[in-house]
Amino acid sequence: MAQAQTKAEVIHWWTSGGESAAVKELANAYKAAGGVWVDSAIAGGEAARAAAINRIVGGTPSTAAQFNTSKQFLDIIDAGLLNNVDEVAVKDGWDKMFPAPILNAIKIKGHYYAVPVNIHMGAWFWYSKAAFTKAGIAAEPKTPDEFFAALDKLKAAGLVPLAQGGQPWQEKLLFDGWLAHAGGSELYLKFYRDRDAATAQSPAFKAILTSFKRLKGYVDAGSPGRNWNDATSLVINGKAGMQLMGDWAKGEFQNAKQTAGKEYGCFPGFGPKSPYIIAGDVFVFPKTSDPAQIKAQHLLASTFTTPATQVAFNNKKGSIPIRTDVDAKGMDACAQIGLQVMKDSSRHLPNSEMLVTPDVAGALQDIITKFWNTNQSVDDAAKAMAAAIKG
Ligand code: GAL
């Protein structure tokens, strides 16, 4: 009977090699704490979040469900559909444990409605050392111009210059990363934080749309529909030179037994002060009055944030620990770069879904995907983004 007390069904979208190796660390920690883990993996973030919400609204909620560190779950908080985990947050001292951007996303009106499990950076550059050697690229690009020069060398060497998955969320991620890295934090924040429509029609923003679309010329014909981790595999196998992707991609390199700094390299942007787009994952806890489910929810929340679970999970996930008091010395070379950058809050950028609602994010994603996949003009795309950012 005791076992039934802590049975937890957990909905998540971690289905790639690296992701499933990582989520097993969360499951193992929960089982070691006396829990029974029921794994409900649903491929694709949008599909998993929709399934979790449908189960909640339909009255058969899971015990917990993955969302991004974002505004994605504010509506279901407002609708009274989530439990908070204040009891765990206060007992474990979350206010002192988590960085401000993470706390801002999970603590709503003084209550803690989600447990954060990692800090991902959504826009790293990953590259194959073998591909760079074959293309005669001696150093990591430090500017957008150097980046395009490297893409040209990779093309001339007969390699896929830029590995890209042709799915709307990946095209949006590529745009956001390019806006931050090539446009700079100020332009990014004026658009996403200030939601300034005029910014979207400014020459600087249009220049970013233009250079973003230029990237399309370096992507292979097999890109449409490709999953993000299959794009990462092209870099792992040396068939592609680079990929702009969140550091969940590192989980795939690790799953392929490759070592950062040996078979592959990583850089978090152009130059020593590049912006660091803070992203990540949380688990929310659907409303229930069942004492056994509430007990399971609290056990999940406390188990996921222990130092030991944090190191074991993040090592496999490619992210960095959510708490700043974890001994991360043993983490890989890319994580060490990320941990260093995390100490400089002037470089932190909230990911766009921390700044705009899911509706606005979805509208912008549709605009970016149309712009990327058709011959729509920069002016028309800019006009559409100006209208969409006003929400
Ligand atoms: C992101 C999530 C990551 C990663 C990625 C691809 O939204 O934060 O954990 O797994 O999706 O599935």
Banded model confidence at residue 3, pLDDT cuts 50, 70, 90: low
- % the chain with pLDDT above 90: 95
Structure-token match 């590259």, residue found: 127
Q: Strands 111-112, 36-41: parallel, antiparallel or unpaired by DSSP?
A: unpaired
Cβ of residue 172 lying under 6 Å from some atom of ligand 1: no
Mutate which of 176, 248, 352 for ligand 1 pocket (most atoms within 8 A of beta carbon): 248
Assigned token pair, 24: 């097993």
Taking each helix axis as running N to C, give the angle between helix 17-32 and helix 228-236, from 0 to 180 degrees, rounded to the nearest 10.
Answer: 110
Long-range contacts of the stretch 26-30 (C-beta < 8 A, 24+): 26/117, 26/303, 26/304, 26/309, 26/313, 28/312, 29/303, 29/304, 29/306, 29/308, 29/309, 29/312, 29/313, 30/299, 30/300, 30/303, 30/304
Task: Indicate if the alpha-carbon torsion angle 382, 385, 46, 111 is positive or negative.
Answer: positive
Domain boundaries, the chain: 2-119+280-323, 121-277+350-389
Q: Is the pLDDT of residue 294 over 70?
A: yes
The H-or-E segment that residue 283 falls in is: strand 281-286
pLDDT per position as a tens digit, 319-350: 999 988 888 899 999 999 999 999 999 999 99
Select from 46, 72, 172, 281 the residue to mutate for testing ligand 1; criterion: most ligand atoms less than 8 Å from CB: 281
Instruction: Indicate if 121-277+350-389 has the same CATH topology as 2-119+280-323.
Output: yes
Q: Reply yes or no on whether the pLDDT at 296 is more than 60.
A: yes
Ligand 1 pocket check for 94: Cβ under 6 Å: no
Task: Tell me the pLDDT tens digit for each residue of 45-88.
Answer: 999 999 999 999 999 999 999 999 999 999 999 999 999 999 99
Q: Does domain 121-277+350-389 have CATH number 3.40.190.10?
A: yes
**Both tokens of residue 290?**
């069942």
Q: Which amino acid is at 94?
A: W
Confidence at residue 2, expressed as pLDDT on a 0 to 100 scale: 53
Fold adopted by 2-119+280-323 = D-Maltodextrin-Binding Protein; domain 2 (3.40.190)
Distance between Cα 147 and ligand 1 center (Å): 25
How far apart (Å, rounded) are the C-alpha atoms in residues 89 and 100? 14
**What pLDDT was estimated at residue 5?**
63
Listed in sequence order, the DSSP H helices in 326-377 are: 333-342, 352-355, 358-373
**CB of 14 closer than 6 angstroms to any ligand 1 atom:** yes
Determine the atom of ligand 1 nearest the C-alpha atom of 68.
8
* Contact status, residue 106 vs residue 301, Cβ threshold 8 Å: no
Nearest-CA neighbor of 76 among 281, 294, 357, 351? 357
